[in-house]
Structure 1
Amino acid sequence: MTPSNQPAKVADAPPRNLADRALPAPFLPYARLARLDRPIGWWLLLWPCWWGVALAAVAAEAAPNPWHLLLFFVGAVVMRGAGCTYNDILDRDIDANVERTRSRPIPSGQVRVNAALLFMLGLAFVGLAVVLQFNAFTVVLSCGSLAIVALYPLAKRVTDWPQVVLGFAFSWGALLGWSATFASLAAAPVLLYAGAIAWTVGYDTIYAHQDRRDDAIIGVRSTARLFASRTRLAVGIAYGLTIALFAGAIALAGGGLLSVLGLGAFAAHLAAQLARVSTDDPASCLAAFRSNRVAGWLLFAGLGSDALAAAYG
């Protein structure tokens, strides 16, 4: 497919997103492959990393390390791109049969599989360069996520719980954010990691409701199909578990009032999100899913403010 007859945008990309507006036509298929036109994915990958950095700063009574925050930002963008490219290579036949995904670069013919593979390797090398900037413990710890990332695209073929596998992969940064400061782990980041997994299960269940009907036809499994009409209850339980585990992490790290206020704002946002979402309306599901970027900012602001207050108060 030539640039002149490419789809105007991928079906679930935000209208007038920066990538589609700013990049020359030859670069657009690869930007779309890396999800640069849909930035919510790397935000959701980034938040556990930044929360881990901020929680470590709370424990150390120091300001969050800006170099670490920058490294995790770059790493989240490129590794999200590499992971999505890998996923699209494996899922190209499935994507071609789902209304929301058939406009993606590989099933729509904009990018050949061999070119996508080379692009994925290039992004992975950038990610490796980022990881090597951290201490040796964090470098080794980061390798633990590779097997989970590799297995995730296959999970929806064999289990009703692929969102849990996604949570294991997407939340790994909570451990890395902490270890980047201390070169070790503790109970606090483990609770943060577990809470982020529960958060991922919640928001990705909402997201998966967009494809529920197509998935049923082609045999793809998900918690959206598993929970069905009980989704609001199930996601509410997942979000409640998230709040409880985050509260434990904050307590163990010695967090103060500002961290608690940030967690309260985060909890209120999740409650409002769940109250207004309609799982029978794909647009409502997508809007609720995207709103988790705001939820991430609320918690990070609380943790970061708490750390700054301890460091300079």
Structure 2
Amino acid sequence: MALLLASRAARRLRPQCWASAATVFFAPGHRKPSPIKPILSPKTLGTLFSAPIGSPGYHLLALRQTLSLASITSFSSSGNPNKEEDEDEKPWNRRSAVSNSSWIDLYLPDSLRPYALLARLDKPIGTWLLAWPCFWSITMAAQPGEYPDLKMLALFGCGAVLLRGAGCTVNDLLDRDIDVKVERTKHRPFASGLLTPYQGVGFLGVQLLLGLGILLQLNNYSQILGASSLLLVFSYPLMKRLTFWPQAYLGLTFNWGALLGWAAIKGNLDPAIVLPLYSSGVFWTLVYDTIYAHQDKEDDLKVGVKSTALRFGVLTKNWISGFGIACIGSLFVSGFNAELAWPYYLFLTSAAGQLGWQILTVDLFDHSDCNRKFVSNKWFGALVFSGILLGRLAS
């Protein structure tokens, strides 16, 4: 009796079989493949309809296809097939979002996240680029055969975090009208509305106050020299509106620690050592920040912002090759005048290779590759620091 009822139901559903299958699998706008394999294939339906009515084979096929049709009908009625699944709600996208989240999103309270993002605490490369010239200078100022002052390294490391954060705060405050028009920066706290300028000014005050606490632990000469760097920090964000060489101005700002580190140890400046060291940092910045600026060149043209990436254009690699040679040459002169031993020159050769690799292999039209090469400069800084350390210990 059950088989007879199923066969009759199948006969009544015959006209709807193809319509239901077509609705599920070929509906307009349903661009993604269905996760359900089509069960009502033409071959199977042909077998069903060609079987003699009342035969055992017919009744078995009818029952099977009735159950299959019920599962398809249930699937199609569970949602509108014309409506695409929300990408953000897909479980694999949720897992991807969690895996791509920074430690700020995972561990900090909601109230602190905008400030941490403003200080770029999730992107430590800027802190490394600011700290390495300080570490170079402090280590070079150590006595021959001795390790550098660990307290000074720690103080300048903390200072790099604070000063880099303060610089980012000033930069974002002044550039909030530009950041909203640039794809890479439109989600920054001021541009996206997470923070108000008033909150940013308050946060800047906290950062500068903590930085002052570090500066007061240095000698008087270093305090004056360190305070003078604030003029560069506050004026740098304006340079991209005035000149095609904001990267050079950033080099003057970011490498001030090459002067300050030596002064913190020695209480003075030795021009034969610190000026070539400072110059090497400026040339280094022109290399890595020009590569970095190529990420934004299309947006910069639209909003009227200047950069060396736009100034150099197709000749960028020629220019940054020259800056790279000047950087390595200045490091050689500084180490020679500081009487560093042979390990320094071995590591300097490795650092030159790393810098040359960046320049030769970077694809200036690939934003992700520009960013990878930019971030790799932390290893250049580490190689130079290792050379100075071992060269001082062996001298």
- TM-score by length of structure 2 reads 0.73
Residue identity in the other structure for 2:148: P
Corresponding residue of 1:213? 298
Alignment of 1:251 with 2:346, yes or no, is no
Instruction: Decide whether the 8 Å contact of 1:40 with 1:293 is kept in 2.
Output: yes
How far off is 1:20 after superposition?
A: 3.0
1:119 and 1:106 mapped to 2: Cα distance?
Answer: 13
Question: Deviations along 1:105-129, whole A, 9 cap, x unmatched?
Answer: 1110111110011001100111111
Partner amino acid for 1:119? F
SS of the aligned residue for 2:280 comes to helix
Mapped partners of 1:56, 1:87: distance in 2 = 32
Matched with 1:86 is 170
SS of structure 1 residue aligned to 2:181: coil
Q: Higher relative contact order at CA 8 Å, sep ≥6: structure 1 or structure 2?
A: 1
Tell me, yes or no, if the aligned pair for 1:149 and 1:169 is still in contact at 8 Å: yes
Residues 219-234 of structure 1 correspond to what in structure 2 (within 5 A)?
219-234=304-319
Which of 192, 202, 225 aligns to 1:118? It is 202
Q: Report deviation, 1:307.
A: 2.1
The alignment's TM-score, normalised by the length of structure 1, stands at 0.92
Asked if the contact 2:144–2:393 (Cα under 8 Å) also holds between the matched residues in 1, the reply is no
The structural deviation recorded for 1:44 is 0.5
Alpha-carbon contact 2:341-2:394 (below 8 Å) kept: no
Counterpart AA for 2:299 = D
Structure 1 distance, partners of 2:308, 2:251, is 12
The residue aligned with 2:370 is: 285
Inter-partner Cα distance in structure 2 for 1:298 and 1:22: 32
Map of 2:33 onto structure 1:
none
> How many pairs align?
297
2:240 aligns with one of 147, 156, 161: 156
Distance in 1 separating the partners of 2:328 and 2:311: 23
Task: Please state if 1:166 is matched with 2:256.
Answer: no
Residue 91 of structure 2 is matched in structure 1 by: none
Matches of 1:19 and 1:256 in 2, distance apart?
42
Q: Which residue in 1 is equivalent to 2:356?
A: 271
What are the within-5 Å matches in structure 2 for residues 59-74 of structure 1? 60-74=144-158
Task: Give the superposed CA RMSD.
Answer: 1.4
Deviation at 1:103, TM superposition (A): 0.4
Query: Corresponding residue for 1:6?
Result: none
Runs of 4+ in 1 over 4 A off after TM superposition: none
Identity %: 42
User: For residues 15 and 253 of structure 1, do their structure 2 counterparts lie closer, same or farther at Cα, with a shift above 3 Å needed?
Assistant: farther
Q: Which secondary structure does the structure 2 equivalent of 1:258 belong to?
A: helix
TM-superposition CA deviations, 1:200-253 (whole Å, max 9, x none):
011000000000000001100000000011111111111110000010000000
Q: Partners in 1 of 2:193 and 2:227 — Cα distance?
A: 33
The answer as to whether partners of 1:64 and 1:307 remain within 8 angstroms in 2 is: no
The counterpart of 2:263, out of the listed 176, 179, 185, is: 179
1:106 maps to which residue?
190
Structure 1 gaps of 5+ residues are 1-13
Deviation at 1:177, TM superposition (A): 1.0
Question: CA 1:306–1:21 in structure 2 vs 1: closer, same or farther (change >3 Å)?
Answer: farther
In the alignment, is residue 46 of structure 1 matched against residue 131 of structure 2?
yes
How far is the alpha carbon of 1:18 from its aligned partner?
Answer: 2.9
Quote the residue 1:35 is aligned against: 120
Answer yes or no: is 1:304 the counterpart of 2:389.
Answer: yes
**TM superposition shift of 1:61:** 4.2
Deviates more, 1:202-211 or 1:257-266: 257-266
- 1:127 pairs with one of 211, 219, 237: 211
What is the CA deviation profile of residues 76-128 of structure 1, one whole-angstrom value per residue up to 9, with x for unaligned ones?
00110011001100000000000000000111011111001100110011111
Most deviating of 278-287 and 300-309 = 300-309
Amino acid at match of 2:196: R
2:327 aligned residue: 242
Q: Does 1:262 align with 2:347?
A: yes
2:280 corresponds to: 195
Matched residues in 2 for 1:31 and 1:149: separation? Answer: 19
CA–CA distance in 1 between the matches of 2:177 and 2:144? 49
- The one of 144, 155, 160 equivalent to 1:76 is 160
2:31 corresponds in structure 1 to none
Distance 2:100 2:217 in 1: 36
